[in-house]
Amino acid sequence: MMEIGLSHFLVVSTIVFLAGMFCVLTRRNAIGILMGVELILNSANLNYLAFARYSSVGYDGQMFAIFVIMLAAAEAAIGLAIVLGIYQTFHTIDVEATDTLRL
Amino acid sequence: MTEISLFPIVFYLLAAVTVVSALGVAFSNNIFYSAIALMGALLGTAGLYVMLAADFLAVVQIFVYVGGILVLTLFAINLTSRIGDVSISNRSIGRLPSLLMLGLVGTVMVRAVLGGGWNLVDVPEAEPTIATIGNGFLTDYILPFELASLVLLAALVGAVVLSRKELKEERG
């Protein structure tokens, strides 16, 4: 069996990224879009850790990944609060219904 | 060389869980199933973190993502009751244009992955990373670390403010 190397992890993270991007592009549901963003952040983290392990950059990748997780937590809290606010105002979370600012 | 290494087997297992769950998040029509699939993707990624010798990151991933963000997402799904309607979770720009765009982005990414040219080193023995990360937080990364606490405080206050407003509107 082939030895597992850097490119294996990169392929997995590429697929996860593309799935997240598809999620963001096609969902009209605001929470679905947020979940796609979580997937994208996860794939970025996987890349950080893979390079931290297999290349000569040391543990910097792990530190970056921690900060990414921290920002993702803040983003999810604020994002979901905004989604709930949109739901209270528009009684839907379809992102195409929230066009009050559009001319 | 009859020794069967466990590493590739576990890797392919975790990779399969991650990829299948990620695709489930993307293609499921029911938002609730998407959230459950997201849990699979996050847990699979945490397993891959362990395989990359990032034990602390894996635990943080499970605590913050599965224990925090995912529960928050499920709460939000349940609080916005009409979210289950199929008409709400249908497509915005359609599958074909987005698949086209994904194909473009994916081609670039696959070329980058296959291109290689990275400065690879021999993989060192896996050892606990907590001490290194803790030292890093208090030396090289002290400024981002302190800024992170400010960002989290701002997010905390912001989330409270955003939810308070709704309560007032409901009452008045």
Domain that holds residue A65: 6-90
| Residue B46 sits at the chain A interface (C-beta within 8 Å) | no
The CA distance from A63 to B71, in Å, is 25
Residues B100 and B138 in one domain: no
Domain that holds residue B147: 127-172
| Distance between first and last Cα of chain A | 60
In a domain? residue B100: yes
Q: What CATH number should be reported for the domain holding residue A72?
A: 1.10.287.3510
| pLDDT tens sequence across B104-121 | 999 998 888 888 777 777
Interface touch B148/A67, C-beta < 8 Å: yes
- Tell me what pLDDT residue B84 has: 54
In a domain? residue A1: no
In a domain? residue A79: yes
| pLDDT tens sequence across A33-47 | 899 999 999 999 999
Interface touch B159/A65, C-beta < 8 Å: no
Residues B64 and B99 in one domain: yes
* Orientation angle between helical segments A60-90 and B142-171, nearest 10 degrees: 10
More confident residue, A41 or A82: A41
Q: Hey, of B18, B98, B143, which one would you mutate to test binding to chain A, going by the most A CBs within 10 A of its CB?
A: B18
* Mean pLDDT estimate for chain A: 87
| pLDDT tens sequence across B125-145 | 778 889 989 999 999 999 999
* pLDDT bucket at B81, cuts 50 / 70 / 90: low
For residues A69-74, give the mean pLDDT: 92
What pairs with residue B169 in β-bridges? none
Closest Cα of chain B to A102: distance in Å? 17
Contacts of A55 in chain B (CB under 8 A): 118-121
Closest Cα of chain A to B117: distance in Å? 11
Q: What CATH number should be reported for the domain holding residue B112?
A: 1.20.120.1200
Do A72 and A41 touch, CB atoms closer than 8 A? yes
Task: Quote the number of domains for chain A.
Answer: 1
The CA distance from B57 to B133, in Å, is 10
Residues B159 and B112 in one domain: no
* pLDDT bucket at B162, cuts 50 / 70 / 90: confident
In a domain? residue A55: yes
In a domain? residue B66: yes
Q: Is A75 exposed, middle or buried (0-12, 13-18, 19+ CB in 10 A)?
A: middle
Residues B138 and B166 in one domain: yes
Q: In the A/B pair of chains, how many CB contacts fall below 8 A? A: 235
Do A26 and B110 touch, CB atoms closer than 8 A? no
Residue B92 tokens, joined: 């915005």
Residues B10 and B39 in one domain: yes
In a domain? residue B122: no
Closest Cα of chain B to A44: distance in Å? 11
Contacts of B171 (CB under 8 A, 6+ apart): none
How long a stretch of residues is chain B?
172
Residues B95 and B26 in one domain: yes
Residue linked to tokens 């069996």 = A1
| pLDDT tens sequence across B10-28 | 999 999 999 999 999 988 8
* Orientation angle between helical segments B31-51 and B70-79, nearest 10 degrees: 180
Residues B61 and B146 in one domain: no
Task: Quote the number of domains for chain B.
Answer: 2
Count other Cβ atoms within 10 Å, centred on residue A23.
28
The CA distance from B82 to B62, in Å, is 29
Per-position b or e across A48-64, b if 16+ CB within 10 A of its CB: bbbbbbbeebebebbbb
